[in-house]
Structure 1
Amino acid sequence: MRKGTVKQFDSNSAYGFIEDDLTHSSYFVFYKSIKEEGYKKLNVGQRVRYQLAQGKKGLQCINVYVDHD
């Protein structure tokens, strides 16, 4: 899995962006891709693990897990 940092996440709009550790590129993330229990949101600066998949407008994050370390 890839690792990155949440750069932006708007709970009202239910989407945001994650910056990849290796490429420093930012990728779109939709709240349905977050694999956590309960209310699905991400906080700016939070560390995450994820996979990339082709979306309608380019690569986006899927299977997003928050790093609890």
Structure 2
Amino acid sequence: MRLGVVKQFDEGKSFGFIKDDQNHKSYFVFYTAIKEEGYKRLEVGQRVRYQLAQGKNGLQCVNVYLDEPSDKED
């Protein structure tokens, strides 16, 4: 999976953009690509893991998960 940061997300329009850590390009993300439980939304600056797939207008993010730090304190 790729890693990135949410660059923008418009809840009203249900889409936004994720900036890729590796190539620094921004990719479109639609709320249906978010694989978290409950209300589907992303916050600007949030770290995410995702995959890229070909969409109607180019590459877009799919299978988006919040990137939880592995050294979380319990």
Which TM-score band applies after superposition, normalised by the shorter structure? Answer: over 0.9
2:24 is the alignment partner of 1:24: yes
Give unpaired runs (5+ residues) of structure 2.
Answer: 70-74
Query: RMSD of the TM alignment (CA)?
Result: 0.4
The alpha-carbon deviation at position 67 of structure 1 amounts to 1.2
Gaps of 5+ in 1: none
TM-score (norm 2): 0.92
> Secondary structure, in 3 states, of the residue corresponding to 2:13?
coil
AA matched with 2:13? S
Runs of 4+ in 1 over 4 A off after TM superposition: none
Provide the C-alpha distance between the structure 2 equivalents of 1:46 and 1:22, rounded to a whole number of angstroms: 16
Cα deviation code 1:27-65 (max 9, x no counterpart): 000000000000000000000000000000000000000
What is the DSSP-based 3-state SS (H/G/I as helix, E as strand, rest coil) of the residue aligned with 2:32? Answer: helix
| Pair member with larger Rg | 2
How far residue 68 of structure 1 moved from its aligned partner, in angstroms, is 2.3
Residues of 1 paired with 2:38 and 2:63: CA distance?
A: 15
Q: How does 1:1-69 map to 2 (within 5 A)?
A: 1-69=1-69
Output the CA distance in 2 between the equivalents of 1:32 and 1:39. Answer: 11
Match of 2:72 in 1: none
User: Aligned residues: percent identity?
Assistant: 71
